[in-house]
Amino acid sequence: MKLLAPDDTLDDLAANDETSFWRVNRHESLECLSATFRTHIFPPHTHETYVVGAVVSGLHVYNIEGSLVRAGVGDLCFINPGEVHDTVLQKGGYSYRVIYPRASLLQTVIEMATGRQACAPQFNGPVIRDQSLATRFLQAHEALENGAEPLAADEALTAVLLDMIDRHGGGLRAMAAGHEPAAVRRAKDYLAAHVDEQVDLEVLARAAGLSPFHLIRVFRKATGLTPHNWLMDQRVHLACNLLRAGMSATHVAAQCGFADQSHLTRVFKSRLGITPGRFRLSKDCA
């Protein structure tokens, strides 16, 4: 399902990686990825959503919250919203299937199954050996991609998600709130308010009430990212929302503070594995 978008280049299709990306509208526009990465390396980044996946072949190695983990066939991968992670490329690459569920989707699934109010789960991962559940997840993921009869596909997905939460989701407790210094919160607030602007470190440090060097150190300790990398993540998150709404990559680049479209494409692809144009034109399922 490789779509060539006007915003993409032929170099993207010539890359030694394969990706298929689509959305399932009936599950809060659940975004799904099936990919083989032989050369692509993800830099440290975060997601607003959960990341839930299973390896089809090869070995998926990545750092998450400062720890190196390895996932192979039969393992489940869980990344909670806001957790910093990257990839470490291994010889031969790896193939995996991933979904990006919103916290509200998982909360709704729990509440509909239990009949009582619930909080979003906190997965115990990042990598858990559960071969039977990993196999069921891959089957449900393939059913969504192949346009299987909706009732069957939805039953498979819902059952897998509930079992994941039951076995590995830490119950129904809410995600732990971050215990970050007030200066880091002030810096985040400033960056969020100026996401489309070129931010000066001295100005950001004054807004946070720290020296520039001290700000970088405490910000990275609290978030796992430098202020600049955190800002890049926020720009990508905003770009995703604008692209979902149908805005062209050219306009998104301007709206999100990127120097130009190529800058947007480079940063966006480094974090999501696909270009903005393909993200915007990816197939929507009912």
228 Cβ neighbours under 8 A, 6+ residues apart: none
Say whether 182-285 and 10-168 share the same fold.
no
| Ramachandran assignment for 262, one of left (phi > 0), alpha (psi -120 to 50 degrees), beta (any other) | alpha
Burial bucket for residue 254 (CB in 10 Å: 0-12, 13-18, 19+):
middle
Query: CB of 50 within 8 A of CB of 75?
Result: no
Omega prior to 126 cis, within 30 of 0: yes
Separation CA 207–CA 191 (nearest Å): 10
Q: Where are the beta strands (DSSP E) in the chain?
A: 18-24, 30-37, 51-58, 60-64, 67-71, 75-79, 94-100, 127-129, 283-285
**Stretch (H or E) spanning 112:** helix 103-114
Torsion of Cα atoms, 55 then 57 then 59 then 60, to 10°: -40
**Stretch (H or E) spanning 131:** helix 131-145
Domain extents in the chain: 10-168, 182-285
The DSSP code for 196 is T
pLDDT at 24: 92
pLDDT at 147: 81
Burial bucket for residue 275 (CB in 10 Å: 0-12, 13-18, 19+):
buried
The pTM score is 0.79
- State the sign of the Cα–Cα–Cα–Cα dihedral 106, 26, 138, 239: negative
Query: CB of 94 within 8 A of CB of 58?
Result: yes
Give Cα separations from 243 to 138, 145, 174 (angstroms): 27, 21, 30
The number of residues making up the chain comes to 286
Q: Which CATH class is domain 182-285?
A: mainly alpha
CB atoms within 10 A of CB 184: 21
pLDDT tens sequence for the chain (286 residues): 333 343 443 344 436 899 999 999 989 999 999 999 999 999 999 999 999 999 999 999 999 988 999 999 999 999 999 999 999 988 889 999 999 999 999 988 888 777 777 888 999 889 999 999 999 999 999 999 988 778 788 889 988 998 999 899 875 443 333 456 899 999 999 999 999 998 888 889 899 998 887 888 889 888 888 899 899 999 999 999 999 999 999 999 999 999 899 999 999 999 999 999 989 888 676 6
Q: Indicate the pairing of strand 51-58 with strand 60-64.
A: unpaired
Q: In the CATH hierarchy, which fold is given to the domain comprising 10-168?
A: Jelly Rolls (2.60.120)
pLDDT at 13: 40
- State the sign of the Cα–Cα–Cα–Cα dihedral 213, 214, 215, 218: positive
